[in-house]
């Protein structure tokens, strides 16, 4: 066994269906994206992944707020128990050519060699695996923002699963899932679904035609931005669709459940229970609907209309421990009503 690898561990996810179902519960409205990723994990578990390459390389395209980064976080949670168990590179921090050297460190003899710690080392890569799975997850977020030298650096990783550092040591990426996210073509995708003029601006694009149209727009944008040799080293180019009304409703349920868990964990004995009326749900979904910004706009809407007023009530000690807080919508805002134990019993 290669000395760079940790001892192989078997993930606790035992079937494709089990992992797919768990991922679809976490990432709403993108079943085709999940279906494109899971088989590569299964190939690795079955020891059928090709040698000398990463276990999987994925380019995730689509408008912002559709679940690209959320997919990677959900996978890290399923494989390792935490959405933060990954190496994440914010490519917006590497827009200048010289900044890419931070990834591999300065060579010996160069100024700053001892002070510059590379972002990628074998120890750091192995540290984001776990007892549950030996697969490490690496995320390059918004890859189109990175300098061209980063894509040249990535060629060796994607093709040979190897990265040579400034000190001449080599990092092995064979037991790694590599994700690249990008908003390339996102505006064109939105325009194609909701054209500004013509018959389609009234009728919209038929749902059955949306998938192939978005994929062609995304792939064309990728081929304009990246070289053919870079694109050919990607295993799956996955295009995320804008979220529909049903998906947004499910995401709202997830956000509310997450907020209730936050209240319970942060406030402890001072926690309260939050309930929304049907009017409040409809109001938040209407205000948070955005094809351009997706679920991110819904999250901002939830904070603005619900979390901020709740924070003001908590700061003023107007919510007693164990209370039921009912949220309703009236006159363009969310109205809170607090019920104590006696009122709840009545």
Burial 257-296 (b: 16+ CB within 10 A, else e): eebeeebeeeeeeebbebebbeebbebbbebbebbebbbe
Burial 116-147 (b: 16+ CB within 10 A, else e): eebebbbeebbebbbebbbbbbbbbbbbbbbb
CATH architecture of 245-345: Orthogonal Bundle (1.10)
What dotted CATH number matches 16-239? Answer: 3.40.50.300
| Residue 304 three-state SS | helix
Q: Answer yes or no: same fold for 16-239 and 245-345.
A: no
129-175: per-residue pLDDT in tens?
999 999 999 999 999 999 888 988 899 899 899 998 888 889 999 99
87-112: per-residue pLDDT in tens?
999 999 998 887 887 888 765 545 55
Question: Among 97, 75, 100, 77, which residue's Cα sits nearest to residue 89?
Answer: 100
> Percent of the chain having pLDDT more than 90?
62
Give the chain's count of helices (H) and strands (E). 15, 10
Q: Whole-prediction pTM value?
A: 0.84
289-332: per-residue pLDDT in tens?
887 788 889 999 999 999 999 999 999 999 999 999 999 999 99
pLDDT for 199 equals 39
Domain map (residue ranges) of the chain: 16-239, 245-345
**Angle, alpha carbons 218-224-228 (nearest 5°):** 100
pLDDT at 58 over 90: yes
């Amino acid at each position: 066994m290669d000395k760079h690898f940790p001892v192989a561990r078997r993930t606790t996810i035992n079937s494709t269906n089990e992992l797919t179902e768990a991922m679809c519960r976490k990432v709403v409205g993108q079943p085709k994206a999940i279906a494109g990723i899971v088989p590569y994990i299964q190939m690795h578990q079955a020891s059928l992944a090709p040698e000398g390459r990463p276990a999987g390389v994925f380019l995730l395209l689509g408008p912002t707020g559709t679940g690209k980064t959320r997919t990677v976080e959900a996978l890290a949670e399923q494989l390792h128990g935490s959405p933060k168990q990954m190496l994440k590179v914010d490519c917006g921090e590497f827009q200048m050519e010289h900044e890419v050297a931070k990834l591999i460190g300065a060579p010996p003899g160069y100024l700053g060699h001892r002070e510059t710690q590379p972002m990628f080392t074998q120890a750091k890569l192995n540290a984001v695996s776990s007892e549950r799975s030996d697969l490490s997850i690496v995320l390059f977020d918004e890859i189109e923002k990175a300098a061209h030298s980063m894509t040249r650096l990535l060629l060796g990783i994607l093709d040979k699963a190897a990265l040579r550092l400034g000190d001449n040591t080599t990092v092995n990426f064979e037991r790694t899932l590599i994700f690249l996210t990008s908003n390339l073509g996102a505006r064109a995708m939105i325009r194609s679904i909701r054209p500004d003029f013509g018959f389609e601006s009234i009728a919209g694009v038929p749902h059955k035609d949306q998938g192939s149209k978005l994929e062609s727009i995304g792939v064309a944008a990728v081929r304009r931005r990246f070289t053919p040799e870079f694109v050919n080293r990607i295993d799956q180019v996955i295009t995320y669709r804008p979220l529909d009304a049903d998906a947004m409703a499910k995401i709202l349920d997830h956000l509310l459940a997450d907020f209730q868990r936050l209240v319970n964990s942060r406030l402890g004995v001072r926690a309260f229970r939050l309930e929304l009326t049907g009017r409040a749900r409809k109001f938040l979904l209407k205000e948070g609907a955005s094809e351009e910004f997706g679920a991110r706009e819904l999250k901002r809407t939830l904070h603005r209309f619900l979390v901020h007023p709740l924070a003001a009530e908590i700061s003023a000690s107007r919510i007693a421990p164990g209370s039921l807080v009912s949220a309703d919508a009236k006159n363009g805002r969310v109205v809170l009503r607090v019920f104590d134990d006696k009122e709840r019993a009545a």
